[in-house]
């Protein structure tokens, strides 16, 4: 059998390589391959780690937990967790679950959970619960993002003070110079009304600015704040990263970006790619969670 396989391989009839079975690869900012162990060793030196993700990718979510566990071990528990998937006004019931005061069923009844919470985010929340570490609901309540998209960002000024506490401090700067927002404009095309376009981009900005402020308000010196968010919220050092640096320029922030590849060797794409501190490449046919 071995001779038959060797003969077939020589004539291209079968191809057996280790790369066929690779589920992911990491690259550094210079597009060089980096091992997970070396990446973790560097990440523990940052104040904030922005873990970009593709929301429906199973290996992405598995790696988030493994990265979190590794940083937790290296930092001897000095970590704080947070995620885009939880909104600021849900912090109280989330804390109740983390403190063991309510069970999972009660959390579902009191927090606006994403549809893929059970498979993709509960493992991280339960890790925080088991290890007794903070998990911060960083995002703006979706109704305010929706209001911004429809009525513009200045409409938030009319909100009462007890509602403004769920939003980043106003006014929030929105500029197309921010990485990602210019891309949003080009994707929407020139036929879109300018006001509608800016309202749409402002809705993204109010999320990014609120998450950045939430991270900064809860970060503590000597700890690593690990934040999970959609890749678009931090790709190319834009979004959350941009607002964090605007609020506190000296903060050491690492970004992990995500790319999907059709290539078996999972090379980092070379076209239209701005590598961040670390870059995860996963097969485009990886199992999706929804």
Q: Splitting the chain (290 residues) into consecutive groups of 10 residues, what average pLDDT does each group show?
A: 47 49 94 97 98 96 98 98 98 98 94 96 98 98 98 97 97 91 77 84 97 98 98 96 98 97 89 92 91
- What are 69's two structure tokens? 């566990």
pLDDT recorded at residue 1: 54
pLDDT recorded at residue 119: 95
Burial 229-238 (b: 16+ CB within 10 A, else e): bbbbbbbbbb
Residue in 57, 18, 67, 65 with CA at minimum distance from that of residue 286:
57
pLDDT recorded at residue 27: 97
pLDDT recorded at residue 56: 95
168 neighbors 209 (Cβ within 8 angstroms): yes
Q: How far apart are CA 259 and CA 189, in angstroms?
A: 24
Q: How far apart are CA 246 and CA 3, in angstroms?
A: 63
pLDDT recorded at residue 12: 46
pLDDT recorded at residue 183: 82
CA distances from 102 to 30, 115, 129, 133, 232 (A): 46, 20, 11, 16, 33
Cβ contacts of 2 within 8 Å, gap of 6 or more: none
DSSP 243: H
pLDDT recorded at residue 20: 63
Residue 57 main-chain phi, psi, to 5 deg: -100, 120
- What are 64's two structure tokens? 């988030």
Helix, strand, or coil (residue 132): coil
Alpha helices in the chain, H assignment, sequence order: 2-10, 36-43, 58-74, 91-98, 104-110, 122-131, 142-151, 161-164, 181-188, 194-218, 240-247
158 neighbors 144 (Cβ within 8 angstroms): no
CA neighbours closer than 13 Å in the CB half-sphere of residue 273: 22
pLDDT recorded at residue 8: 45
pTM of the model: 0.91
Class (C level, CATH) for 26-283: alpha beta
**Helix H or strand E segment including 21:** none
Q: How far apart are CA 137 and CA 87, in angstroms?
A: 5
Burial 77-111 (b: 16+ CB within 10 A, else e): eebbbbbbbbbbbbbebbebbbeeebeeeebeeeb
Helix, strand, or coil (residue 127): helix
- What are 98's two structure tokens? 């983390």
């Amino acid at each position: 059998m071995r001779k038959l396989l060797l003969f077939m391989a020589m004539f291209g009839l079968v191809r057996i390589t280790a790369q066929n079975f690779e589920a992911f690869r990491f690259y550094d900012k210079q597009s060089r391959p980096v091992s997970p162990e070396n990446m973790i060793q560097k990440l523990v030196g940052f104040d904030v780690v922005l873990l970009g993700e593709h929301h429906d990718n199973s290996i992405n979510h598995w790696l988030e937990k493994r990265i979190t566990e590794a940083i937790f071990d290296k930092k001897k528990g000095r970590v704080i967790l947070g995620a885009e998937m939880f909104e600021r006004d849900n912090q109280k019931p989330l804390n109740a679950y983390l403190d063991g005061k309510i069970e999972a069923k009660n959390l579902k009844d009191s927090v606006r959970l994403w549809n893929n919470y059970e498979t993709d985010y509960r493992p991280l929340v339960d890790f925080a619960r088991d290890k007794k570490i903070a998990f911060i609901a960083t995002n703006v309540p979706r109704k305010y993002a929706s209001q911004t998209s429809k009525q513009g960002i200045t409409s938030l000024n009319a909100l009462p003070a007890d509602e403004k506490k769920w939003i980043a401090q106003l006014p929030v700067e929105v500029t197309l110079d921010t990485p990602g927002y210019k891309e949003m404009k080009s994707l929407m095309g020139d036929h879109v009304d300018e006001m509608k376009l800016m309202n749409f981009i402002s809705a993204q900005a109010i999320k990014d600015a609120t998450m950045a402020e939430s991270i900064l308000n809860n970060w503590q010196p000597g700890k690593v704040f690990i934040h999970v968010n959609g890749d678009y919220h931090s790709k190319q050092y834009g979004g959350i990263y941009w607002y964090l640096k605007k609020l506190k320029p000296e903060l050491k922030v690492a970004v992990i970006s995500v790319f999907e590849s059709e290539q078996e060797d999972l090379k980092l794409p070379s076209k239209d790619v701005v590598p961040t501190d670390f870059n995860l490449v996963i097969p485009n046919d990886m199992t999706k969670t929804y």
